[in-house]
Amino acid sequence: MSTTTIYPQRLWSEVKVGDVLPPIELLVEYSRIILNVASTWDYFPGHHNPDYARAQGQPNIYVSTIFFHGFVDRLITDWGGPSSFIRRRRMRMVASVHPGDTMRAEGHVVRHYRDDHGQGLVDLDIHIDTARGLCVPASATVRLPLAQGERLFSLE
């Protein structure tokens, strides 16, 4: 029997600069990397062929860019809720993640504002690391829903 976690919806008015996103962790198993390769059709050999990865100077196969994107997106949407919308995501990979590593993502709110259309946005600073240190610094802009009755534009 599988269970589904339902995350509450976060409203833009509930957020402030400095808020911390609850961290998430994931044990990266060999099979998870291979399943990601198969499901995304990202057949770059370093993601599934240990000999190729070692020839690149890696100790083993390693997770793909798409894997990191999904992990960052999960951190954001677990925090923001089902109606959050990721408008922008930037990442820079500085270290690889291999089978047996535990990835940890965490972040915090660095900006809380409205765009030219009155929508509620937040900018996030995020990082993914393992026991060896930083792997991926990232940032994102997320649109959160406004509270019921809250106007898109101020009449002031």
pLDDT of residue 35: 79
pLDDT at 156: 47
Q: Give 37-63 pLDDT, tens digit per residue.
A: 788 887 776 677 778 789 988 888 889
Write the pLDDT tens digit of every residue in 86-137.
Answer: 999 999 999 999 999 999 999 999 999 999 999 999 999 999 999 999 999 9
Residue pLDDT, tens place only, 2-23 = 555 667 899 999 999 999 999 9
Domain 12-144 sits in CATH 3.10.129.10? yes
**Going edge to edge, which strands form the sheet with 20-27?**
20-27, 102-114, 120-130, 133-144, 85-91
